[in-house]
Amino acid sequence: MSIHITPLSPALGAQISGVDLSRDLTSAERDAIERALLEHQVLFFRDQPVTPQQQARFAAHFGDLHIHPIYPNVPEQPEVLILDTAVTDVRDNAIWHTDVTFLPTPALGAVLSAKQLPAYGGDTLWASGIAAFEALSAPMRSLLDGLTATHDFTRSFPLERFGSTPEDLARWEETRRKNPPLSHPVVRTHPVSGRKALFVNDGFTTRINELEPAESEAILKMLFAHATRPEFTIRWRWQENDVAMWDNRVTQHYAVDDYRPQRRVMHRATILGDAPF
Ligand SMILES: O=C(O)CCC(=O)C(=O)O
Ligand SMILES: [Fe+2]
């Protein structure tokens, strides 16, 4: 078998075939997938029925794995979190966001596996921060490059929805204490490819620090709309046992909330990243 890459849209996204994710990767396979991820930013694999152990082993080829502070996980494989609409309110993923940018070192990427799907609906979209940045005018790019923005965990995990039981409240308060708002550059340089990407997201970014509040609000509103223009996105219609893997350093995503009360179950392994610069 050899890995085959089919690009799916100009801004980002490719389908990968010719690799079995349930088996340990060869180093050639690992390197080919990493190169494809750098180029295409989000990769899709069809028909990959991976166990949580296999999913974690695949993800761990690309870095250490993160254990999420809020979402439930697979007990025997805590690096794999469960997004099950029967258990967790996942509506807050129906916002354009980059995962865990409230951490000093947000995730490098994630591996998401579709376990149970609604008959239709429940698609996920990704947007390329590289395409979005490159489409800005030169004066706007130079204004933004060098600015920093605040990211706050409570913007996507509001107390009203994540503090309903005493245990949930205690976990939320501890997460809040351990993750005070912090700053990241508005324009991030990819640590491997060197490409620049817009790195603000509606999920966690609350303000551009160096601007006046009204300026920050207006520019962020413009950037959130700009970054998610259809030209910079891809929309994936899931089949069971699909696996998606994204480069969380230069993309954001949106899980469409259009299928409730049908049930949808996804497993995610999150790969730790480094500090944005
Ligand atoms: O459920 C999905 O399709 C994606 C949810 C999400 O935002 C994530 O796994 O990071
Ligand atoms: Fe996410």
The predicted structure's pLDDT at residue 25: 96
Average of per-residue pLDDT across 215-233:
98
The predicted structure's pLDDT at residue 107: 96
Q: Are 98 and 130 in contact (CB under 8 A)?
A: no
Query: Which 3 state secondary structure label does DSSP give 193?
Result: coil
pLDDT digits (tens, 9 = 90+) for 163-176: 888 998 998 899 89
Mutate to test the pocket of ligand 1, among 233, 268, 271 (most ligand atoms within 8 A of CB): 268
Average of per-residue pLDDT across 60-78:
92
Q: For the chain, first and last CA: distance in Å?
A: 38
Average of per-residue pLDDT across 5-31:
97
In a domain, 132, yes or no: yes
Run of H or E including 159: helix 159-162
What's this model's pTM, rounded to 2 decimal places? 0.96
Q: Are 192 and 39 in contact (CB under 8 A)?
A: no
Catalytic: 61? Answer: no
In a domain, 176, yes or no: yes
Task: Answer whether 111 contacts ligand 1 (Cβ < 6 A).
Answer: no
Q: Are 112 and 240 in contact (CB under 8 A)?
A: no
The burial class, CB within 10 Å (0-12 / 13-18 / 19+), for 107 is buried
Q: Which two tokens stand for residue 157?
A: 């995990």
Q: How many domains does the chain have?
A: 1
Q: Indicate which CATH number applies to the domain containing 71.
A: 3.60.130.10
Catalytic: 253? Answer: yes
Give the residue numbers spanning the domain of 39. 4-272
In a domain, 52, yes or no: yes
Average of per-residue pLDDT across 56-76:
93
In a domain, 122, yes or no: yes
Q: Is residue 1 pLDDT above 70, yes or no? A: no
pLDDT digits (tens, 9 = 90+) for 70-118: 889 999 999 999 999 999 888 889 999 999 999 999 999 999 999 999 9
Q: Is residue 274 pLDDT above 80, yes or no? A: yes
pLDDT digits (tens, 9 = 90+) for 26-44: 999 999 999 999 999 999 9
Task: Answer whether 268 contacts ligand 1 (Cβ < 6 A).
Answer: yes
Q: Is residue 144 pLDDT above 80, yes or no? A: yes
In a domain, 277, yes or no: no
Say how far apart CA 20 and CA 109 lie, in whole Å: 19
Q: Are 249 and 99 in contact (CB under 8 A)?
A: no
In a domain, 183, yes or no: yes
3-state secondary structure 76-125: CEEEEEEEECCCCCCHHHCCCECCCCCCCCCCCEEEEEEEECCCCCCCEE
* Tally of CB atoms within 10 A around 139: 8
In a domain, 197, yes or no: yes
